[in-house]
A and B are shown apart, each in its own frame.
Chain A
């Protein structure tokens, strides 16, 4: 896998007989992947585009989640007051 199309900075992800490989935790950007057989034949490069979700949307949802959760905790800890 490389971050440039000419594979100048390529690193080996896996060497073996598995038919799949799980990739995660990459930052935003385009990544280039290439398969090579044992006898040296190479497949055409595959471009992997990583675009994370909107951070603003995530923070708004986290704020909503915090409000709802605090309300739940408060309602339970406050208990029944009108008995």
Chain B
């Protein structure tokens, strides 16, 4: 296979793109028809059950990174790299007990910003908003950009068209259907991704044996099997803590904690983690097969699709196209919805128009979703490849927020000085280490520094927080 040629005919790509676009938009309009207020739109009326709740937790966490970057991790860092990527599921497992606590303490809450504002005051809230908007917008831009690049690589659809279509589809159904549409489409996307990965996994295993893979790796890429591969060892906890920081702070996950029916959150996040865990392992395994199948890999990020196509031919190319499209849509829609709710609640409602009606807030949330889509589109148009790597800067920022969130939810002694200092010191030292040492230590150092500061402030503190202050009226 030549690196310059797409693995699927452009016409097939366009037909698949059109079919799924119509499906998602149609479902979004259908599921959004009952939304009247901001609470309906942003939190699906706070009545999401276990099946939809588990599926949306898993689907949102299955990004194009899970299906494309996990194989790259395996090819670069070996068995440890594959497991390091899978540790991101710990974010969902550990958020499970926190979701129940959040729902109990903040029965009328809307966003993770509400928590920072009520728990730590406006100073910490401002820092949180700065960090989370940086993270959310870079994640959104990187996903949309990945969409254009991947659809182009898979089917030859021009980058700008692929990126624009996938973004437009997600914006339209998120605007119309709100969180209900996001969760509903996530459910279907999860089923498609899981079935696709299982079929691909069995197809690959029917072509080679584990012994053959091991022999090939031992001869050609021995470090990938090494238990003492230094870069891979460093990646494990850094990746784990990056994942914890992402889940613990972001409104994508808090909005779900608020939207689930009472008693559902803990189970849904735990099951979501169980569904998610094997996916990067399976995707990573596919990369390790490339050598024994004699698949030439021109760039690490294309190893997954190339192996699948070599095993399954055009059927495999169609499967990969659909899996990638579903992975991208399930993350872009969640980010659009959660970020627009955050801006609506934390900036518009709390800073600009406190008396806005629920209907007005819903309208504003829809306009902000459109604005976010247009902003992302404008940033993605020039296709600056290095922009996606900016997301890695967010590692120290999100790592530094882990301890202020945990202690803020469970300890009365956690205080403002601890949260503000923990976030600023952790992020600052983490960013210095990012440039001085490398990305693989940044989240870890940021979390460790933040932890020491937050714990010291809590132990020295004489103040005791009153949990009722988190029960703000709707």
Contacts and interface: CB of A to CB of B under 8 A. Distances in A.
Q: Do A and B bind each other?
A: yes
B240 A65 contact: yes
Nearest to A13: B296
Interface stretch (B152-160, B172-180, B214-222, B351-359): B214-222
Contacts of A38: none
B97 A61 contact: no
Chain B, interface residues (CB within 8 Å), range:
35 or more
Contact of A54 (B230, B238, B444, B464): B230
A80 interface: yes
Given A71-B451, A78-B410, A83-B467, A52 B97 contact: no
B324 interface: no
Contact of A24 (B76, B233, B451): B76
Nearest to A22: B297
A76 B234 contact: no
Contacts, number: 121
A20 to B, nearest CB: 4
A62 B236 CA distance: 8
A59 B223 contact: no
Contacts of A64: 237, 444, 448
Interface string B1-15: 011000000000000
A16 B296 CA distance: 9
Interface of A: 14, 16-22, 24-27, 52-55, 57-59, 61-62, 64-69, 71-73, 75-80, 82-83
B299 interface: yes
12 contacts: A17-B2, A21-B297, A22-B297, A25-B78, A25-B223, A65-B236, A68-B451, A69-B90, A69-B237, A76-B94, A77-B97, A80-B411
A55 B227 CA distance: 11
A73 B21 CA distance: 41
B457 to A, nearest CB: 15
Contacts of A67: 448
Contacts of A75: 406-407, 410
Given A61-B237, A82-B411, 4 more contacts: A64-B448, A69-B237, A69-B241, A77-B97
B94 A72 contact: yes
A53 B234 contact: yes
Interface of B: 2-3, 75-76, 78, 90, 94, 97-98, 101, 217, 220-224, 228-231, 233-234, 236-238, 240-241, 244, 296-300, 303, 402-403, 406-407, 409-413, 441, 444, 447-448, 451, 464, 467
A74 B222 CA distance: 37
A20 B298 CA distance: 5
Nearest to B237: A65
A66 B188 CA distance: 36
Contacts of B90: 69
A25 to B, nearest CB: 3
B153 to A, nearest CB: 14
A19 B441 contact: no
B3 A69 contact: no
A14 B296 CA distance: 7
A59 to B, nearest CB: 7
B410 A55 contact: no
